[in-house]
Amino acid sequence: KAGVTQTPRYLIKTRGQQVTLSCSPISGHRSVSWYQQTPGQGLQFLFEYFSETQRNKGNFPGRFSGRQFSNSRSEMNVSTLELGDSALYLCASSRDAANYGYTFGSGTRLTVV
Amino acid sequence: ELKVEQNPLFLSMQEGKNYTIYCNYSTTSDRLYWYRQDPGKSLESLFVLLSNGAVKQEGRLMASLDTKARLSTLHITAAVHDLSATYFCAVVMGSRGTYKYIFGTGTRLKVLA
The pLDDT score that the predictor gives to residue B51 is 85
- Mean pLDDT (whole number) for B31-52: 91
Residue A12 to residues A86, A99, B4, B78: CA-CA distances in angstroms? 9, 36, 32, 42
What burial class does residue B111 get, using C-beta atoms within 10 Å of its C-beta: 0-12 exposed, 13-18 middle, 19+ buried? buried
Chain B residues close to A33, C-beta within 8 Å? 100-101
The pLDDT score that the predictor gives to residue B100 is 83
Chain B residues close to A45, C-beta within 8 Å? 100-102
Q: Is A47 left (phi over 0), alpha (psi -120 to 50) or beta?
A: beta
- Is residue B61's pLDDT more than 70? yes
Residue of A nearest to B41 (CA): A106
Question: Number of CB pairs < 8 Å for A and B?
Answer: 59
Q: What is the mean pLDDT of chain A?
A: 94
The pLDDT score that the predictor gives to residue B16 is 96
- Is residue A97's pLDDT more than 80? no
The pLDDT score that the predictor gives to residue B79 is 95
Taking alpha carbons only, the member of B8, B38, B2 closest to residue B23 is B8
CA-based torsion, A94, A100, A106, A111: positive or negative: positive
Residue B2 to residues A28, A53, B27, B101: CA-CA distances in angstroms? 31, 24, 6, 10
The pLDDT score that the predictor gives to residue B113 is 85
Main-chain dihedrals φ then ψ at residue B92, nearest 5 degrees: -90, 125
Give the pLDDT confidence of B81-106 residue by residue, as tens digits.
999 999 999 998 877 767 788 999 99
Q: Which of B33, B42, B90 sits opposite A106 (nearest CB)?
A: B42
Q: What is the mean pLDDT of chain B?
A: 92
CA-based torsion, B103, A30, A27, A96: positive or negative: positive
Chain A residues close to B106, C-beta within 8 Å? 42-43
Amino acid at A1: K
- The answer to whether the CB atoms of A106 and B41 lie below 8 A apart is yes
- Partners of B99 in the beta sheet? B94
Gap between the terminal Cα atoms of chain A: 37
CA B31 to chain centre: 12
Taking alpha carbons only, the member of A20, A31, A22 closest to residue A72 is A31
Q: What percent of chain B has pLDDT over 70?
A: 98
The pLDDT score that the predictor gives to residue B27 is 84
DSSP E strand stretches across chain A: 5-7, 10-13, 19-24, 31-38, 42-50, 53-57, 64-68, 74-78, 87-94, 103-104, 108-112
CA distance A111 to A83: 8
Give the pLDDT confidence of A27-49 residue by residue, as tens digits.
999 999 999 999 989 999 999 99
CA distance B46 to B25: 19
Main-chain dihedrals φ then ψ at residue A73, nearest 5 degrees: -60, 150
For chain A, say whether B2 makes contact (Cβ under 8 Å): no
Residue of A nearest to B30 (CA): A98
The pLDDT score that the predictor gives to residue B97 is 66
Q: What percent of chain A has pLDDT over 90?
A: 84
- Is residue A98's pLDDT more than 80? no
The pLDDT score that the predictor gives to residue A96 is 80
Taking alpha carbons only, the member of B49, B2, B54 closest to residue B28 is B2
- Mean pLDDT (whole number) for A87-105: 89
Q: Minimal Cα–Cα distance from A57 to chain B, Å? A: 9
